[in-house]
Amino acid sequence: MTIKELIENGYRVILDTNVLLNIYRYSPEFSEFALECLKAVKII
């Protein structure tokens, strides 16, 4: 199952703090892209 399918089926996706903090280790462009992806599936 994809994350989108899990969310549509009522599952909760919980991100560890380290996952969110590690997004910022990458380039600003990738960080922004990753955050937009998470927003698109309403994780953040």
User: How many domains is the chain built from?
Assistant: 1
Alpha-carbon distances of 3 from 11, 29, 40, 43, rounded to whole Å: 9, 22, 11, 10
CA 28 to chain centre: 16
Confidence of residue 43 (pLDDT cuts 50, 70, 90): low
Residues 30/36/42/44 CA torsion (nearest 10 deg): 60
pLDDT of residue 37: 85
What radius of gyration, in Å, describes the C-alpha atoms of the chain? Answer: 11
Task: For residue 19, give its domain range.
Answer: 3-40
For residue range 15-35, what is the model confidence (pLDDT) as tens digits?
Answer: 889 988 899 899 999 999 988
Question: What is the pLDDT, as a whole number, of residue 4?
Answer: 79
